[in-house]
């Protein structure tokens, strides 16, 4: 994490400097006024404003200037009132108790370093930092052959997500991609994927049995990327997930990516993840982030299960509506979903 000191004539001007250099994922650590130097010139100068800001430079993707800041500028408020408002909001936001306990303990030990006339923004910056530190992201790498399967409950957008990635990767990485489906249950599933395969000019194979999948992978050994579509499975039907496991263990190189809807309620998300953990899960992909403004449940699952997130999808357009997940993006979604007024 990179930390830097900024100065200017007022808060607005300094924050503009911060955002120009660090982008919207900047974290405000402190804001305070500086007294002018005790000189004849200083007697006629206005006080300066100092801001200490930080940014997570571990992310491999460039900052996106189109993302809005995680919180707006506010008028100067009474310090105790701002602190009480901040605590009230995060305690009622729905964070898991384990995260809240750890955050409040860290806040208690760090309060002496968190100061400034805009205390609410400073505390929000500290929360953003802790949110980012509490989750993992996984930037996909293709330095070797990859076999990705997309698993999850019905209706979360597994097929559409897979096709979006196939379209992007066939243009930017390699044309040597094959689409495979083992979804022989849903009416029209094979036809839907075949239509996309024809548009993208990619081969498609159907595996009716686990042995079929093994043969397909061996047959297309010259491919760089294998993408496997799977049928939606109910978390209440363990036998269905066991059946899925028979397919996805025929090759040790298959990486299972659990596709989840951001609109799903917190307890249901936890139950789905628990049941699908019968399979080794490489990462989470969250869909439908454009259909909700509540992202604390998403964060809770990332925090509790300590598995990385790779992608976020925000619409039905192929291939546009998908983006690589970053710590800053997830933290901003969570912060923007909290009412700070």
Q: How many CA atoms lie within 13 A of 293 on its CB side?
A: 4
Contacts 24+ apart (CB under 8 A), 317-325: 318/160, 318/163, 318/164, 318/167, 318/196, 319/163, 319/164, 319/165, 319/166, 319/167, 319/168, 320/164, 321/164, 321/290, 322/161, 322/164, 322/165, 322/168, 324/61, 324/139, 324/140, 325/137, 325/286
Is 337 within a domain? Answer: no
Looking at the structure, do residues 63 and 158 belong to the same domain, yes or no?
Answer: no
Q: Does 188 share its domain with 232?
A: yes
Q: Are residues 103 and 193 in the same domain?
A: no
Mean pLDDT of 271-277: 95
Q: Is the pLDDT of residue 24 over 90?
A: no
Q: Taking residues 152-175, report their average pLDDT.
A: 95
What per-residue confidence (pLDDT) applies to 80?
Answer: 65
Check residues 59 and 320 and name the one with the higher pLDDT: 320
Indicate the pLDDT class of residue 47, thresholds 50, 70 and 90.
Answer: low
My answer on whether 153 and 119 are in the same domain is: no
For residue 1, the model assigns a pLDDT of: 61
138 in a domain, yes or no?
Answer: no
CA–CA dist 150, 231 (Å, integer) = 9
pLDDT value at 183 more than 80: yes
Tell me, yes or no, whether 128 and 176 share the same domain: no
Instruction: Report the C-alpha gap between 200 and 44 in whole angstroms.
Output: 68
pLDDT tens column, 276-329: 999 999 999 999 999 999 999 999 999 999 999 999 999 989 989 999 999 999
Question: What's the pLDDT score for residue 117?
Answer: 55
- Whether 141 is covered by a domain: the verdict is no
Domain residue limits at 56: 2-133
Residue 96 has pLDDT above 80, yes or no: yes
Task: Output the pLDDT for position 14.
Answer: 75
Q: Is the model's pLDDT at 62 over the cut of 70? A: no
Tell me how far apart the alpha carbons of residues 252 and 214 are, in angstroms, rounded to a whole number.
Answer: 11
- Residue 106: its pLDDT value, please? 86
Better-predicted residue by pLDDT, 44 or 54: 54
Q: Do 163 and 95 share a domain, yes or no?
A: no
Same domain, 204 and 311: yes
Q: For the chain, how many residues are written?
A: 341
pLDDT of the residue at 70 = 43
The residue among 82 and 144 whose pLDDT is bigger is 144
Which pLDDT value is given to residue 113? 66
CATH number of the domain at 171, please: 3.40.50.300
In a domain, 263, yes or no: yes
Alpha-carbon separation of residue 127 from 86, 252, 338 (angstroms) = 10, 39, 12
Residues 90 and 163 in one domain: no
Does pLDDT of 194 surpass 70?
yes
Query: Would you state the pLDDT for residue 6?
Result: 84
pLDDT at 71 over 60: no
The reply to whether 119 and 165 lie within a common domain is no
Domain termination site, one of 133, 160, 181: 133
In this structure, is residue 339 part of a structural domain? no
Quote the number of domains for the chain: 2
92 and 202: one domain?
A: no
Query: pLDDT at residue 249 above 70?
Result: yes
Mean pLDDT, residues 208-234 taken together = 96
pLDDT at res. 184: 87
- What one-character-per-residue DSSP string does 269-307 give? HHHHHHHHTTS-EEEEEEE-GGG-S--HHHHHHHHHH--
One domain for residues 176 and 283: yes
Classify residue 336: in a domain, yes or no.
no
261 shares a domain with 207 = yes
Residue 333 resides in a domain: no
pLDDT, position 28: 66
Helices 79-91 and 97-110: angle between axes, nearest 10 degrees: 160
pLDDT at 9: 79
Instruction: Give the per-residue pLDDT at 82.
Output: 73
Closest CA to 49 of 97, 103, 112, 121: 121
**Could you tell me which residue, 189 or 33, shows the higher pLDDT?**
189
User: Would you say residue 331 lies in a domain?
Assistant: no
Neighbours of 171 (CB within 10 A): 11
Is residue 11 scored above 70 in pLDDT?
Answer: no
């Amino acid at each position: 994490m990179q930390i830097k000191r900024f100065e200017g004539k007022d808060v607005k001007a300094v924050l503009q400097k911060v955002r120009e250099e660090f982008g919207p994922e900047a974290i405000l650590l402190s804001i305070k006024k500086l007294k002018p130097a005790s000189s004849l010139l200083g007697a006629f100068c206005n006080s300066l404003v100092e801001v200490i800001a930080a940014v997570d430079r571990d992310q491999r993707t460039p900052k996106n200037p189109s993302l809005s800041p995680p919180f707006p500028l506010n008028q100067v408020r009474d310090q105790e009132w701002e602190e009480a408002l901040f605590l009230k909001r995060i305690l009622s936001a729905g964070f898991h108790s384990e995260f809240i306990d750890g955050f409040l303990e860290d806040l208690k030990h760090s309060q002496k370093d968190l100061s400034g006339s805009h205390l609410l923004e400073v505390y929000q910056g500290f929360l953003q930092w802790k949110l980012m530190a509490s989750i993992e992201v996984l930037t996909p790498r293709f330095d070797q052959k990859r076999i990705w399967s997309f698993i999850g409950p019905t209706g979360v957008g597994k097929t559409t997500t897979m096709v979006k990635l196939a379209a992007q990767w066939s243009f930017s990485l390699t044309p040597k991609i094959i689409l495979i489906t083992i979804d022989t249950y849903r009416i029209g599933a094979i036809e839907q994927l075949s239509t996309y395969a024809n548009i993208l000019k990619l081969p498609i194979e159907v595996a009716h049995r686990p042995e079929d999948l093994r043969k397909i992978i061996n047959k297309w050994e010259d491919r760089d990327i294998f993408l496997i579509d799977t049928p939606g499975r109910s978390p209440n039907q363990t036998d269905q997930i066991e059946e899925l496991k028979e397919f996805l263990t025929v090759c040790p190189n298959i990486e299972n990516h659990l596709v989840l809807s951001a609109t799903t309620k917190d307890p249901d998300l936890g139950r789905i993840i628990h049941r699908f953990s019968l399979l080794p899960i490489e990462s989470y992909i969250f869909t439908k982030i454009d259909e909700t403004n509540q992202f604390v449940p998403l964060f809770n699952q990332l925090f509790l299960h300590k598995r990385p997130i790779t992608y976020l999808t925000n619409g039905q357009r192929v291939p546009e509506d998908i983006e690589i997940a970053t710590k800053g993006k997830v933290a901003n979604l969570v912060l923007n979903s909290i009412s700070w007024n």
